[in-house]
Amino acid sequence: MHRPISADMDLEDVASVSPHAIRLLTERNIVCIACGTPLWKTVREAIQDAGIEDVDGIVSEVNTELAAASTS
């Protein structure tokens, strides 16, 4: 069972509850832990820092993919 992420979660919390979400954000060039993205940033801040305005859309996409992965 997956736990959905929210835009206001710290990346550290996301990594703890749903490591797969970090991978999905990385695939979208939003997060790069290896490059030094601060873990205290929120998902919203990381998405906006990547130049993406549709924060809710990205969070929704990631949660949809997490849900699909948990049922397969």
pLDDT in tens, the chain (72 residues): 578 999 999 999 999 999 999 999 999 999 877 777 788 899 999 999 999 999 999 999 999 999 999 887
Would you give the distance in Å from CA 45 to the centre of its chain? Answer: 11
Distance CA 55, CA 16 (A): 21
First to last CA, the chain: 11
Query: Residue 38's pLDDT is what?
Result: 80
**Class of residue 72 by CB neighbours under 10 A (exposed 0-12, middle 13-18, buried 19+):** exposed
Query: Residue 1's pLDDT is what?
Result: 59
Query: Residue 20's pLDDT is what?
Result: 92
